[in-house]
Each structure stands twice: as structure tokens, then as C-alpha cells.
Structure 1
Amino acid sequence: MKNLKITLAAIALASASFGSFAAELVNAQPSDLQKTGVITVSGASDLTSLENKLAAKADEAGAKSFQIISTTGDNKLHGTAIIYN
């Protein structure tokens, strides 16, 4: 049940625009970009910090966009995202 709540919250966050990172958070694969890999992060305290960590890692990888595909955890969150170029 907790994972379901976290996943729903991640989807809600994915629909918001944060614009502070070069890699743009998207809800689906952009039609003009190709999947270039998958990134993971862990140790986030909340969904916002999880998204920020994924965005920073996407930037490090040179991605133009990223899509969060999973989140898990209770006190320390783990997340996975697809990156696109």
C-alpha cells in the first residue's frame, strides 16, 4: 500500500514543472528523442528530493529529458528513471 501511495505521488510530481534542471521531467517518451539509458538513485528523504537527485543524475549523463518509472521505500526512497537524448 505504501508503494502504491509513493508511486501515485511520483506520478503527480511528474506532471508538475520544476524547470530548475537542464534535463526536463516528462510523463512519456518525447517523440523527437531516443531512450539512452536508465538511472537510479537512493537515499532521498522525500519525493521532491528524489526527483531532484534523479534530475541531477540525468544532467550528469547529458540527458535532455527523463521519465520517472518507479519509486520505492519508506524512510529512504529509491527511484529509477529513463533518460532521453
Structure 2
Amino acid sequence: LEELGPVCEKFDVWLHVDAAYAGSAFICPEYRHYLKGVEYTSSFCFNPHKWLLTNFDYLLEILDWFQEFNRTKPKKFSR
């Protein structure tokens, strides 16, 4: 990400990280070094239900955010 990110930023290319399985590991400090350059990403996806045993039922809590995340040009997220 550290090498690819600046190139994507320079040419206005969307950079997506699909961390469906590994993304949950980033809550552990010993794995966070793999996130270097994540600030360049346009989107980041991880699925807590795969490692953290979180059910899909919790998705209902974020439905009010869902429309914003599905926009073609999303705004910066803030609660």
C-alpha cells in the first residue's frame, strides 16, 4: 500500500483493500504494521463474522450509514 497508494492518489485511481479474512487480525498490535499506507485507500473492507464470530444481525445497527457508503463519490465518514 505504501508504494501503490501514492501512484493511485496521483492519478486519481480508486484503491480498494479487500481484507475480508485478514482484516480482523488488524485489531492485534503485532499485525498493524501490515496496514502501513492504508491512509491512501479509497475503501477498506473486512468481515468480522469470519474471525470474530460476529453475526450478520449486527449489520442492522449501521443501516443508517449504508446509503452514504454506497455513493459513487462518498463523503468523508463522520459519526
Indicate the structure (1 or 2) with the bigger Cα radius of gyration.
2
Shorter chain as denominator, the TM-score bin is under 0.3
> Hey, which of these two has a bigger chunk of strand by percent?
1
What's the TM-score once normalised by structure 1's chain length?
0.24
State the TM-score, normalized to the length of structure 2. 0.25
- Relative contact order (C-alpha < 8 Å, sep 6+): which is higher? 1
